[in-house]
Amino acid sequence: AQKVTQAQTEISVVEKEDVTLDCVYETRDTTYYLFWYKQPPSGELVFLIRRNSFDEQNEISGRYSWNFQKSTSSFNFTITASQVVDSAVYFCALSEAAGRRALTFGSGTRLQVQP
């Protein structure tokens, strides 16, 4: 069975601070995919990043960066110089590479960026 754990329920930071959102996953599959989605107050889910299990390279996209470590089954997400617009719930998700390939979501981390 697959499981995604986001231990941080809620994080509050002040604008311009850096913040890291943790994600730990469990799966028996050797090939799988990890995702991060953002859900702003309006409710829609916005895709941020996808990573497959064979690619452990870290990725940076603007103020966002992701650190994937298979050894610790973690896929953490860092926002540098946070902004008020970053306030949202962030979900980490896992999918098997074959079969139905539905996403299993973590419980989400609510990020509040104060001005």
Partner 1 sequence: GAVVSQHPSWVICKSGTSVKIECRSLDFQATTMFWYRQFPKQSLMLMATSNEGSKATYEQGVEKDKFLINHASLTLSTLTVTSAHPEDSSFYICSARDGREGGGLSPLHFGNGTRLTVT
Closest contact distance (angstroms) between CB of 115 and partner 1 is: 23
Chain centroid to Cα 25, Å, comes to 11
Nearest to 25 by CA among 92, 87, 84: 92
Contact with partner 1 (CB under 8 A) among 20, 52, 58, 69: 52
Among 35, 66, 75, 90, binds partner 1 (CB under 8 A): 35
Among 11, 17, 33, 74, binds partner 1 (CB under 8 A): 33
54 DSSP assignment: T
35 contact partners, CB below 8 Å, separation of at least 6: 47, 48, 49, 50, 51, 92, 93, 94, 95, 103
- Count Cβ atoms below 10 Å from residue 92 Cβ, excluding itself: 28
Integer Cα distance of 109 and 70 in angstroms: 21
Q: Is 50 in the site for partner 1 (CB under 8 A)?
A: yes
Smaller CB separation from partner 1, 1 or 115: 1
Check residue 91 for interaction with partner 1 (CB under 8 A): yes
Residue closer to partner 1, measured from CB, 22 or 50? 50
For binding to partner 1 (CB under 8 A), which residues are involved? Answer: 33, 35, 37, 42-45, 47, 50, 52, 91, 95, 97, 100-108, 110
